[in-house]
Structure 1
Amino acid sequence: MAETPIRFGILGCADIARKQSKAINLSPNSILYAIGSRSLDKAKKFAEENGFPASAKIYGSYEAVLDDPDVDVVYVPLPTSLHVQWAVLAAKKKKHLLLEKPVALNVAEFDQIVEACEANGVQFMDGTMWMHHPRTAKMNEFLSDTQRFGQLKAVQSFFSFPGDDYFLKNNIRVKPGLDGLGALGDAGWYCIRSILWATNDELPKTVTALHGPVINEAGVILACGSSLQWEDGKTATFHCSFLSHLTMDITAVGTKGTLHVHDFIIPFDEKSASFSTICQIGFKERALPSQNVVTTDLSQEVCMVRELSRLVKSIKENGSKPESKWPSMSRKTQLILDAVKASIDKGFEPVQVGA
């Protein structure tokens, strides 16, 4: 007997929702069940173009999706300024949450979302897709290997892409009333998460924004960077930008080895993603880095949906508690993001990261 799939509803018709709709369709334990938009015609068009089954519910409001008793999970790809409103309401309606990043404009808003999720026993997960690619688990193995990698000493992360004139003037990511965190919230989120991932989710003691951020006339960050410092001497730096060539790099340096990955956001080859490692090499030795290839039949988006659906199914059918590591990761990422912004606002002074 076939298992009952987890039923997803989507709030809004954002472009990124097209990718997630495809992932929900391809995941073996989920189904596209409902779409809601402020325009019924827009919702119908979105469903037709993105593979929704004929039985899918089409709604002319976000509220209608949340009021549908058969919707298990709500995917929220709305502008960041709307997250706290709709994510809290979804949780109160007992809907599990897949929330696009950045999760909120600040950690105080995110805490409202988490409190609502905890009070209503629903699972929270943000849309940081690369965390779910099987390559990430293999890279974890290397970073955890004290014989080959040793102890982590430094991390560098870089995510940029060149926005064209239309993007830089009209995209929601450059509008203060929609996604006011700009490149820091969009691209910087990934960089910060990669640093936390490499440090086993250990928060730094201080964050210091780098001089020279690029800020548009509306006050939204288009490019910026930061350094992070830990009490034990570890350091990290990142740069994020809407103004530079597409670059998606992580470098993690240990006492005995180094890891490099050049496409951590979206693998150049989704089904055959790679990373390089090099170990125990000094100036006198000569050796090529080892190329490590991880194959998969499912994209990282599908892996994310599959994992969330598994967690939701366990809660529904077995009475399991929501997995706490996902909101914890999101909150730590938001804390560092807030600290970077605070450092910029304070003239690039070091800012202590709160708990």
Structure 2
Amino acid sequence: MSNVGIIGSGQMGKFIAHCLANNASCGLTLHSVLSRSLQSGRDFASDNGIEHSNVYTDIHQFLNDEKLDAVYIASPTSTKNSYLALSIEKNKHVLVEKPINYDKQLINAIDTAISKQLVILEASHCLHNQIFFRLTELVDRYVGNIEFVEATFNWPSTDEALTKFDPTLEPNGVLGDLGWYLIRTLVELCGGEFEHSSQLLKNNNGAIIECSTIGSNATTSFALNSSYRQSTVRQVLRISGSKGELIFNDFIMPYWGSFVYGDVQRYLDIEVRHGMKPMLDRKFERIYFTGEQHINMLKFFSESINTPHPHVETMLKKTLSSSKFVSDIRKSSIIRHWGG
């Protein structure tokens, strides 16, 4: 069992703490918490079975705990890389929430982690469900050479609710939040080097609330859209190629095994289409989910700590490519403002 400390006591911090406290099969023990105040840290500890002696308000004291093996980071994006770098410096394995800013501190932390044989794993739950486990197989069978990728992730929200996306804390807004999954999926399918152009929409608070990106590499073109402005949730991935196309609905947070929906529907029907009559020349491939994706992620993190897994470094390189892609989009986008 590896001892894990939590940095960040918001929604995701509380959720992962609950998972660790109630799933011994993960191979991880919830050990400590770093909080901005002692009282909030003690409240967090009481809710999740952490001893009050393992509540910290100082990052250095938190990381100097010799019983601490690994760290879960769910702090605002503006502080993630500094916590990541310090954790690696103190020889801790790291599970870190997206989005992750692309900068020298991130690159150096990753290089150091690889040299020290420490695990850094991106905490995107969807990478650990049966959709992504079977993605290569399904593309090879039904798509062939990938020629076009279209991905959308919309999540309804009012402009007032978007005040929580303080640009000083979450500079990437929806691009880093919902858009991260689209970019990470594109990188998973096609690598990370693309020519692209984007439009970002900002609200009155300066938060990015919509992002539309189109682009291509030598063989594949793509269109990505993430938005807080739509009326319904939409999580759709379409992959088209030389043989046909696949359409995945709810591929990021399926209706079973996600922290949002819980246990609703334990399978997903993927649409397979081809030919000149795609609404007739089609069938459905059913994928059954086994294990909740966030629990799968925690188990993989634990296993990677105990037994070095070559796939971890591959995943880390894809995380870095995704982070760079987010940064490139922000730097090169046309900015428009919504709401006057």
Q: TM-score range by the shorter chain?
A: 0.7 to 0.9
Determine helix, strand or coil for the equivalent of 2:67. Answer: coil
Distance 1:256 1:310 in 2: 37
Determine helix, strand or coil for the equivalent of 2:143. Answer: coil
Shift in Å, 1:54: 5.4
Structure-1 residue corresponding to 2:222: 236
Q: Which runs of 5+ in 1 are unaligned?
A: 348-355
Structure-2 residue corresponding to 1:134: 130
Indicate yes or no: 2:319 matched with 1:330. yes
Structure-1 residue corresponding to 2:204: 217
Identity of counterpart residues, as a percentage? 20
Distance 1:321 1:139 in 2: 19
Residue-pair matches, total: 326
Q: Which runs of 5+ in 2 are unaligned?
A: 258-262
Residue 274 of structure 2 contacts residue 282 of structure 2 at CA under 8 Å; is this kept in 1?
Answer: no
Shift in Å, 1:30: 1.2
Alignment CA distance shift 1:281-1:52 (3 Å): farther
Deviations 1:78-135 (A, max 9, x none): 111101211100100000111111112x343421331332343311111111001123
Deviations 1:190-224 (A, max 9, x none): 1101112222xx223311114xx321234331111
Amino acid in the other structure paired with 1:47: A
Distance 2:132 2:278 in 1: 31
Alignment CA distance shift 1:258-1:42 (3 Å): same
- Aligned partner (choices 169, 174, 180) of residue 178 of structure 1: 169
Shift in Å, 1:322: 8.8
Within-5 A mapping of 1:1-355: 5-25=1-21, 26=23, 28=25, 29-49=27-47, 51-52=48-49, 57-104=54-101, 106-145=102-141, 148-169=142-163, 171=164, 174-199=165-190, 202-210=191-199, 213-232=200-219, 234-244=220-230, 245-270=232-257, 272-283=266-277, 286-296=280-290, 298-315=291-308, 323-344=312-333
Amino acid in the other structure paired with 2:74: P
Structure-2 residue corresponding to 1:352: none
Alignment CA distance shift 1:258-1:125 (3 Å): same
Alignment CA distance shift 1:332-1:180 (3 Å): same
Alignment CA distance shift 1:267-1:81 (3 Å): same
Residue 6 of structure 2 contacts residue 71 of structure 2 at CA under 8 Å; is this kept in 1?
Answer: yes
* RMSD of aligned residue pairs (Cα, Å): 2.4
Shift in Å, 1:337: 1.1
Residue 149 of structure 1 contacts residue 257 of structure 1 at CA under 8 Å; is this kept in 2?
Answer: yes
Shift in Å, 1:279: 4.6
Shift in Å, 1:27: 5.4
Residue 273 of structure 2 contacts residue 279 of structure 2 at CA under 8 Å; is this kept in 1?
Answer: no
Distance 2:151 2:316 in 1: 22
Between 280-289 and 240-249, the greater mean CA deviation after superposition: 280-289
Deviations 1:229-252 (A, max 9, x none): 1112x1011011122232111111
Distance 1:23 1:168 in 2: 27
Amino acid in the other structure paired with 2:295: V
Amino acid in the other structure paired with 1:142: L
Report the TM-score when normalising by structure 1.
0.84
Distance 2:313 2:256 in 1: 31
Deviations 1:297-334 (A, max 9, x none): x211111111011010125xxxx789311220111101
Distance 2:140 2:69 in 1: 36
Shift in Å, 1:295: 2.6
Amino acid in the other structure paired with 2:314: K
Distance 2:227 2:278 in 1: 37
Distance 2:330 2:61 in 1: 36
